[in-house]
Amino acid sequence: MEIQKLYDLDDIEFEDIAIGLVRLAKDIPAHEFFYKINQLNNLSFSRKKDMVFHGDYYDYLFPRFEAYHKFSKTCFTFISNKSSESKQKKVQTELFTEEENIKFLLNNQADVEYILHSSEQFPDFSVILLPENLVFPIQDYTLSSEEELYQIIQYYE
């Protein structure tokens, strides 16, 4: 009797993820930013367990904030683009390593404060009212399955 193959990794299609890039117009602390968002919306963003990225020399922690939209039953997650803390695992002995004690999830988007992710396949970020004069319009961004951040988001989802 032949064992049936349940799935073939070559047949699995990895779909891109749509995220939003949030840039702040003013430098304000996270608690103040989410307090203002919670005031404007029927959402209640709260801090969740930090997202952890394991590097060769450091472990990086990225704050996460989540809320559920009551009507659409959608989970919205804000992830800090910049690490809030780094824990050194081993001493760097090489001169030109690319790893520093601060990390950005999107290296080419260092001006982005938060990455906004939704549990929906085609997210509608317009349901979140953002405080005027504090935030630039949300920029749509697509992550492909080859990107490192894609794998991290899938793990924490």
In tens, the pLDDT along 42-51 reads 889 999 999 9
Residue 11 lies in a domain: no
CA distance 7 to 55: 31
Which has the closest alpha carbon to 77: 27, 152, 26, 11? 152
Number of domains making up the chain = 1
pTM of the model: 0.80
Residue 12 lies in a domain: no
pLDDT tens by residue, 15-35: 788 899 999 999 999 999 999
Residue 6 lies in a domain: no
Residues 6 or more apart whose Cβ sits within 8 Å of residue 11: none
Residue 7 lies in a domain: no
Residue 45 lies in a domain: yes
Residue 9 lies in a domain: no
**Domain region containing 57:** 17-156
